[in-house]
A and B are shown apart, each in its own frame.
Chain A
Amino acid sequence: MLALSLRGLTKTYQNGTQALKGIDLDVAEGDFFALLGPNGAGKTTSIGIVTSLVNKTAGSVKVFGIDADHDLEAAKSCIGLVPQEFNFNMFESPESIVANQAGFYGIPRALARERTEKYLRKLQLWDKRKVMARSLSGGMKRRLMIARALVHEPRLLILDEPTAGVDIEIRRSMWEFLREINEAGTTIILTTHYLEEAESLCRHIAIIDKGRIAMHDRMQDVLRRLHSETFVLNLRTPLSGAVPVLPVASAELADPSTLEVELTQHQDLNAVFAALTAADIHVVSMRNKVNRLEELFMRLVGQEETTGSAA
């Protein structure tokens, strides 16, 4: 079954901006799905329409087969949303924010209290349950929004940049938590600017750009389709002359001590190191220039730019 199905989704704002230009998108039940795109691409508008925060201009939204135009309340009861911006009352306590949200979904007070404790504990906020929400740190506020989105135990959880502004340690623990709830059966749709996050967590990916889906595929297939990868090599001794001939697609010096080599799928690093050793060039460390997904993302978005400019 499809957790989410969008057909011909279009949005034109009152100022004339066409944010979505006919989006078709399917997300299977149980999936961990990444929705990526540059700022202003239409990610948040799409999520806004699915969660009824934004009125669509045209198209259809189905959540677990329920057409939102026919039974909006039933469709919404399946969704939990973690929005990009903090959208809770800063003068309420985390406990009342989460318990009230449960109430809005029709959960009786006793069960709402139980669930509030469960999710505040899971997200390490139980100790802060009585404080005013505005006194929480940025990371805590993000976790509070996750607890609030989960309290009615939705079948589809949508997270719009949930780890923005969160430190590495908390981000990693949030990843673990999201993996855990996905394994327990919750379908997750994630938008993020941390492409490493999408690559590490998600099984399917769609890239949205300028209101259109630029690409939609399995994460593994997407990454496999990447023809090349760039590595940054830090050299022990600065190179004074030209870069020696290497078995790579391209090689250039970023500075005398930093060599960037681009390898295609058919080339290997052993041959590169052999050639460097033969030329008496020693490598002290190495890293990927960019995350693989980022490379793809930049290419797709860059391609769109070029196509757009040509048009």
Chain B
Amino acid sequence: MNLGKSRASRTFIGFLTILRREYGRIIRIWGQTLVPPAMTSTLYFIIFGGLIGQRVGAFDGIPYMEFIAPGLIMQAVITTSYGNVVSSFFGAKFGKHIEELLVSPLPPSVILLGYVGGGLIRGFLVGGLVTIVTLLFTHLHVDHPFLVLASVVLTSITFALGGFINAVFAKTFDQINWFPTFVLTPLTYFGGVFYSISVLPDWAQHLSHANPVLYMVNTFRYGFYSHSDVPVGTAFALMLATVAGLYVLAYVLLKRGTGIRD
């Protein structure tokens, strides 16, 4: 197979192919991948933002509907980035078509980045859809566009890597639902999507600082309103460290063939 191309360019073509396949999968089953988060966010805006929000008033001077908007967008990004990779990679394991990639000359790092890229694409598509829904209910002004973008990218990558690691260890479909149900959802709900942790008692505030989602949601919210419950610099550093740590773990698992090679 001599195509007169460098190994780097062949590898890049391989990476793009994984991305194209992941994008194709997201679009092919759009009713499962794109619509539900937009639907859920609409309900949140109607119930929490509209009906209950009017009674809540404002959080730190920000009207409740506007306060929860960044959190709801981030919540959708988190769940879909995670869900995309865990279901796509586990599906490939279950259907054995992961072997198409394993027999190919693509290095593990590229396979991993391809799947993470798929999670990022879906995170952005869903985040975009939820933002459109948001704009139907309230308005958003962006104070720090770079911070908005960077926090979405880092959060999406974090949870895409988390989904990948879950899929590596999962042996049944139950096991890919366990983590999102019992860990991811509580972390998201207690991560400051619907409230500022300043309303919590001291012990709960301290406990909330152990929740990584709190840093992600607040960094993102800071990008809009320059308001955060946590120091943004610390949050950013923690997000970078989390991405690096999860990437190394996912890479080692894939390189070893954990859960996919006998």
A interface with B by C-beta (< 8 Å): 13-14, 48, 51-55, 72-74, 76-79, 81, 83, 85-91, 96-97, 100-101, 103-109, 111, 148, 152-155
Contact = CB atoms under 8 A, between A and B. Distances in A.
Interface stretch (B93-101, B126-134, B164-172, B221-229): B93-101
A76 B105 contact: yes
Main secondary structure of the interface of B (DSSP, over half): helix
Given A87-B97, A88-B95, A152-B1, 12 more contacts: A51-B102, A55-B261, A73-B107, A76-B104, A77-B1, A78-B1, A87-B100, A104-B18, A104-B100, A105-B1, A106-B105, A154-B1
A90 B25 CA distance: 12
B101 to A, nearest CB: 6
A90 B16 contact: no
Contact of A96 (B13, B24, B96, B257): B24
B97 A88 contact: yes
Interchain residue pairs A-B with the least CB separation, the first 8: A106-B10, A103-B17, A104-B104, A87-B96, A73-B105, A77-B105, A76-B105, A89-B97
A14 B261 CA distance: 11
Given A51-B103, A87-B97, A103 B20 contact: yes
Contacts of B17: 100, 103-104
Interface residues of B, number: 34
B11 interface: yes
B105 A74 contact: yes
A154 B1 CA distance: 6
B95 A107 contact: no
Contact of A73 (B7, B9, B99, B261): B7
B5 A53 contact: no
A53 B105 contact: no
Contacts of B1: 77-78, 105, 152-155
A90 B16 CA distance: 21
Among B9, B11, B17, B92, the most chain A Cβ lie within 10 Å of the Cβ of B17
A133 B99 CA distance: 16
B21 A100 contact: yes
A169 to B, nearest CB: 28
A53 B16 contact: no
6 contacts: A73-B107, A76-B105, A88-B97, A88-B100, A104-B17, A104-B105
Interface string B60-104: 000000000000000000000000000000011001110111111
A104 B91 CA distance: 18
A105 B104 CA distance: 6
B79 to A, nearest CB: 23
Contact of B3 (A76, A107, A155): A107
B262 A13 contact: yes
Contacts of B261: 52-55
A103 B262 contact: no
Nearest to B19: A103
B162 interface: no
B14 interface: yes
Contacts of B10: 105-107
Interface string B116-152: 0000000000000000000000000000000000000
